[in-house]
């Protein structure tokens, strides 16, 4: 099968654990996407220093965040060009880890560009999102909060709010996934690159 060399995918890893469950999911997804020729870049909160939003609403004036002395600029630059974005997160207290939530709060600058400054009003034509999630327990609503907040991240990035979710309950650590589960994630990565 010919490889699709034009597809670029941004993987956002939102857990502080460098080698945890959500990172393994993202690495497997990447493996699948790269096998189809996609270029895949992972940015992880475990490698970045991200401060929390201070709620000053300065971004409503110019779409830019006033906080300049952290690594958020790396994400802002990546988001400007990103069309296909996969988010991978674990569940901490029924939501994403606070390091990930800090990133989402800081996406307010992109929300402001779209909804206050009326930029990027149309969804990006090639824009597609995907959510990978993992938690240790089995609650019915375990992934409801992260699905909702990631929906609004994608919206801020002008990426469709309709996106697939592949989520795994009852996984306490990366060694607890079954080979079938990991294979499912590789396949999802292959399809996302198509």
Ligand X SMILES: Cc1cc2nc3c(=O)[nH]c(=O)nc-3n(C[C@H](O)[C@H](O)[C@H](O)COP(=O)(O)O)c2cc1C
Radius of gyration of the chain (CA): 16
User: CB–CB of 175/157 below 8 Å?
Assistant: no
> 98-106 and 144-156 helices cross at what angle (nearest 10)?
30
> 72-81 and 108-115 helices cross at what angle (nearest 10)?
40
CB of residue 95 to ligand X, shortest distance in Å: 8
The residue of the chain with the least Cβ separation from ligand X equals 20
Query: What does residue 150 show for φ and ψ, rounded to 5 degrees?
Result: -70, -35
Contact track, ligand X, 160-179, x by CB under 6 A? -----------xxx------
Two tokens, residue 64: 């830019």
Q: Tell which one of 76, 92, 111, 115 touches ligand X (CB under 6 A).
A: 92
Residue 99 within binding range of ligand X, rule CB under 6 A: no
Q: Which is nearer to ligand X, 46 or 60 (CB)?
A: 46
User: CB–CB of 22/88 below 8 Å?
Assistant: yes
User: CB–CB of 150/87 below 8 Å?
Assistant: yes
Two tokens, residue 131: 């959510």
Could you please report the per-residue DSSP string of 88-139?
EEE-BTTB--HHHHHHHHHTHHHHHHHHTS--S-SPPTT-EEEEEEE-SS--
Q: Which is nearer to ligand X, 59 or 132 (CB)?
A: 132
Q: Which of residues 120-159 bind ligand X (CB under 6 A)?
A: 134-137, 142
CB of residue 94 to ligand X, shortest distance in Å: 5
Of the listed pieces 1-9, 13-21, 60-68, 105-113, which binds ligand X according to CB under 6 A?
A: 13-21
Q: Tell which one of 8, 42, 51, 94 touches ligand X (CB under 6 A).
A: 94
Q: Tell which one of 21, 44, 108, 156 touches ligand X (CB under 6 A).
A: 21
Of the listed pieces 32-40, 44-52, 90-98, 107-115, which binds ligand X according to CB under 6 A?
A: 90-98
Residue 44 within binding range of ligand X, rule CB under 6 A: no
Residue 15 within binding range of ligand X, rule CB under 6 A: yes
Task: Name the site residues for ligand X (rule: CB under 6 A).
Answer: 15, 17, 20-23, 90-94, 134-137, 142, 171-173
């Amino acid at each position: 099968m010919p490889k699709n060399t034009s597809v670029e995918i941004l993987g956002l890893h939102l857990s502080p654990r460098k080698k945890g469950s959500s990172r393994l999911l993202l690495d497997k997804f990447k493996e699948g996407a790269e096998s189809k020729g996609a270029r895949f870049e992972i940015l992880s909160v475990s490698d970045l220093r991200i401060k929390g939003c201070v709620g000053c609403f300065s971004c409503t004036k110019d779409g830019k965040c006033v906080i300049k002395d952290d690594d958020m600029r790396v994400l802002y630059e990546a988001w400007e060009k990103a069309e296909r974005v996969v988010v991978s997160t674990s569940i901490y207290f029924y939501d994403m880890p606070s390091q990930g939530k800090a990133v989402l709060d800081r996406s307010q600058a992109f929300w402001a560009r779209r909804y206050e400054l009326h930029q990027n009003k149309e969804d990006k034509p090639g824009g597609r999102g995907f959510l990978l999630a993992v938690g240790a327990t089995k609650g019915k609503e375990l992934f409801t909060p992260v699905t909702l907040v990631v929906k609004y991240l994608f919206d801020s990035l002008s990426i469709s709010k309709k996106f697939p979710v592949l989520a795994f309950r009852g996984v306490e650590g990366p060694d607890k996934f079954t080979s079938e589960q990991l294979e499912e994630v590789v396949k999802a990565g292959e399809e996302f690159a198509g």
